Amino acid sequence: MSTFTTRQSTRRRPVHGLPGWLVVLLAVAAGMTVANLYYAQPLLASISDLFRISTASAGALITVTQLGYVAGMLFLVPLGDRIEKRRLITILLAVTTVALVVAGTAPAFPVLVIASLVAGATSVVAQIVVPLAAGLATDEARGRVVGRVMSGLLTGILLSRTVSSVVSDLAGWRVVYLGSAVLTVLLAVALRAALPTHGATTNLPYLAVLRSTAQLARTHPALRRRGLYQAAMFGTFSAFWTTISFVLTGPGFHYSELGIGLFALVGAAGAAVAPLAGRWADRGLSHPLTGAAFVVAAVGAVLAGVGQHSVILLALAAILIDTAVQTSLILGQHTIYALDEGARARLNSVFIATFFIGGAAGSQFGSIAYHMGGWTALTVLSAALPILALGYWATERRGRRTGSPDVLQQRGDRR
């Protein structure tokens, strides 16, 4: 169980089980660390020009960073159940800082790729603080607390593009990475001082923890289903945002990096849905709203294809896609955290790793689709993924009628 310091414990806590300032700090931590995965997206054109590589090769930088995140989810996040979380977070942030410095001073593209791989792997701190918040919250308010922390994470994803665009436009893309390194150091100090002690929930050896993580994936059908749902959604999200910079800098728009960053701000409006999605999950509405999220994402992708020459329609498409992806994510996390309270870090590692594989595939195949068939091919791919997820979701509804083990498990989750 978590133990606050004497000074903290004497404060009056709100009904959700932990101080509001700590929720805010965890939200900031989640947003700042996950932003490391996305700083490069609006910089791809500049990086491509500097290192004299193709747009498809530059897009691989995003893919590799996300694959690093997947590796961190599989091999580092499970340690959140095995090692005291404050200590683990401090170590990971220290490694992230070093990797960001290397990225900011990289003399060649392969060095930048390797540094981004390491930074991606250790930026999983974002996915350690989310289950930490879930564990500190009361059962009846878990969805709301997770929603608030996730709103910080999702805002970090969205604003990272704007921040990197503005900084790059003013001082060059290398300063984006070096500035993030400085902020990471400050974050490490703040978390070390403020986080409550949160001990291990298992004493299994590391390899046994990894085996138990794989066992959780086999044991819980709802975990596998939710991971696949989000893989499709994040594939659409990554495909759209990885390639939109090429559209906005190309003929018809000729946006600068600053212009791309300002465009990315519209997507931040979708982060506002995160707390609402948490409340909806607390009320047992996860199933119908998941289906609705798939429909909204598909509509957003179609709108992006139809409105490829209109920045207004592209902005509306971005808002729809981001809102749908974030809603699905919050609903999914609410479901999996109810499966086993002693294994939330490991459950989260399976869930996030699964959908980040979808995100990495979306980035890579999105870059290839754009290179081969332009924006139209990209939006067809982006619409197809949530439609496939919607078809899979329809089998869950049929399972509800037949009382399949998958649905019976999900009913238990909602209770």
C-alpha–C-alpha distance, residues 122 and 99, integer Å: 9
A 10 A CB-CB count for 225 gives 23
Beta bridge partners of 2: 198
The pTM for the full model equals: 0.74
In the block, residue with structure tokens 């603080």: 129
CB 7 within 8 A of CB 28: no
By the 8 A CB rule, do 148 and 274 touch? yes
370 and 378 Cβ atoms separated by less than 8 Å: yes
CATH number where 145 lies: 1.20.1250.20
Domain range spanning residue 365? 2-414
What is the predicted pLDDT for the residue at 17? Answer: 59
Number of domains in the chain: 1
CB within 8 Å of 107: residues ≥ 6 apart: none
> Where is 197: in which H helix or E strand?
strand 197-198
Token code pair at residue 264: 């990315």
The tokens describing 159, both together, are 């604003």
d(CA 78, CA 114): 23
Which neighbouring-strand residues pair with 3?
197
Nearest residue to 237 via CA among 145, 163, 323: 323
- Work out the burial of residue 207: count CB atoms within 10 Å of its CB; fewer than 13 is exposed, 13-18 middle, 19 or more buried: exposed
* Tokens of residue 407, six digits: 């649905």
**pLDDT per residue rounded down to tens, the chain (415 residues):** 444 443 444 344 454 557 888 889 999 999 999 999 889 877 887 888 889 887 677 878 888 998 898 899 889 988 877 888 889 999 999 999 999 999 999 999 999 999 999 999 999 998 888 878 877 777 777 777 877 887 788 788 778 878 888 898 888 889 999 999 999 999 999 999 988 776 677 788 888 888 888 899 899 999 999 999 999 999 999 899 888 888 888 888 888 777 877 887 787 777 677 678 878 888 888 999 999 999 999 999 999 999 889 999 999 999 999 899 989 988 998 899 889 887 887 888 889 889 888 988 998 899 889 989 999 999 999 999 999 999 999 998 544 433 333 443 444 443 3
Q: What is the pLDDT of residue 406?
A: 42
